[in-house]
Structure 1
Amino acid sequence: MAFPANKFSDYHAHLYFDENSLAHATQLRDRVYNQLGLYVGNLNTRLVGPHPQWSFQISFTGEQFDMFLPWIDKNRNGLSVLLHPVTGDDLIDHSDYASWLGQPLTLKLSIFDAE
């Protein structure tokens, strides 16, 4: 699989899950924090922001990019993962600069219209 190019200094990954994959997502979140030492956000079991499913966020840098992407791809177990840089422009980050591991989901980008 070809991963996106590493062109930015900071990134977010959003891992999507549902009731059936909650246990795996919880375990994966713990592993990202404990094994990789990356920042992980709340395990959201409600919809937040532009995200159309339950999710949690992982923050990583361009220096961690080449380590993290193959690891998360190997361990996501079929879950969809949104990857995007953090440039300060949420709309572009979540659309033009976004890439996916697994099945892409349709984000609610209209929430960024008011920014």
Structure 2
Amino acid sequence: MPEITGYHAHVYFDADTQETAQQVCEDAARLFPVQMGRMHARNVGPHPRWSCQLGFAADAFARVMPWLMLNRQGLTIFTHPETGDHLADHRDRAIWMGEVLQLDLSIFDQA
């Protein structure tokens, strides 16, 4: 079984919800051992919407995820483990909060 070394939670937003997403991400980074990434006002990687990444260690999962569930302000959040198998982590091992969106998995080597 692969080892989970951490998690990425991607908070999705658009022009109308960017301030809300920034506040959610900043609050998470202030309250928990979470590394907040940049606010991408464009689609990045496999993500079908603008997003901000929250990175956290595996041992923070039980604290961060319930907080995101209760404080996501209606935003869609896509969370996946980090095991080194990027395709499986994004395709098979993910947790969605809110709308389930189609990722662009073609960026991952599927050979």
Aligned 1:23-102 pairs, distance under 5 A: 23-102=19-98
Tell me if the contact between 1:9 and 1:63 (Cα under 8 Å) persists in the aligned partners: no
* 1:16 to 2:9 alignment: no
In 2, the alpha carbon distance for the partners of 1:11 and 1:53 equals 19
Superposed displacement of residue 83, structure 1: 1.0
Superposed displacement of residue 35, structure 1: 2.1
In 1, the alpha carbon distance for the partners of 2:33 and 2:6 equals 15
In 2, the alpha carbon distance for the partners of 1:37 and 1:90 equals 23
Superposed displacement of residue 9, structure 1: 3.4
Q: Structure 1: 5+ residue runs without aligned partners?
A: 1-6
Over the matched positions of the two proteins, sequence identity in percent amounts to 42
RMSD: 1.6
TM-score by length of 1: 0.87
Name the structure where strand makes up a greater proportion of residues: 2
TM-score by length of 2: 0.90
In structure 2, the partner of 1:108 is: 104
In 2, the alpha carbon distance for the partners of 1:30 and 1:81 equals 15
Q: Structure 2: 5+ residue runs without aligned partners?
A: none
Q: Which amino acid aligns with 2:49?
A: Q
